[in-house]
Amino acid sequence: MNPVPTPDQIAAARQALAAADPTLARAHAHTPVFEWRARPGGYEGLFRMIVEQQVSVASAAAIWARTVAGLGGVVTPQAVLALDIEGLRALGLSRPKASYGREIALAQVEGRIDLTHMAALSDEDAIAALTAIKGVGRWTAETYLMFCENRLDVFPGADIALQEAMRWADGVEARPNEKQAYVRAEIWRPHRAVAAHLLWGWYGGVRRGEIAL
């Protein structure tokens, strides 16, 4: 796992992004200092990302707390595989999420992926390894690498909030689709993950009424 970017590293990347892309300079000028969204990695980190998808923050926290307690306080592939689908569902997981949790656990124990030593893989190879697991899509893989592996040049182009913030930055009527978002983000290399954090911060501030669009 890479170290969490320092405030100075993030600030330098923001300056470089604003200089490289004038349309991003407005987001940079209006978005306060932010911290990196670092999260625990490994099997637990990936499983938690799956569990928390498509539910509210409060619901995600409650379901995860029940899951951790039901697994004896330690989330490991072995603990998850000790329960069948119905046992995991009893902890509050949906059937698909219970199934995906077991699929990721099987991939880890069978050696199809090593979530504790992903740093040896390039970004694209890591994404390919993650998305080979049933239930792990590209958005999940990219955000896992960003938040749990602290990778600085991944960009989840399918993220709707990012697409909307990109639309604001470019002053266009239609937000980019996933393919267009990836192409648009090329100019932000090698700081695309910082650009994503910046756009998320800008988007959240506007939605909360803290930043004028």
Tell me which residues are annotated as active site. Answer: 159
Give the type of residue at 85.
I
Distance from C-alpha of 188 to C-alpha of 17, rounded to nearest angstrom? 6
User: What is the residue whose two structure tokens read 């009893």?
Assistant: 90
- Find how far residue 186's CA is from the centre of its chain: 18
Question: Are 152 and 13 in contact, with CB atoms under 8 Å apart?
Answer: yes
Distance from C-alpha of 125 to C-alpha of 113, rounded to nearest angstrom? 11
Distance from C-alpha of 200 to C-alpha of 190, rounded to nearest angstrom? 18
Question: Are 135 and 100 in contact, with CB atoms under 8 Å apart?
Answer: yes
Q: What is the CB-side half-sphere exposure of residue 168 using CA atoms within 13 A?
A: 22
- Find how far residue 193's CA is from the centre of its chain: 10
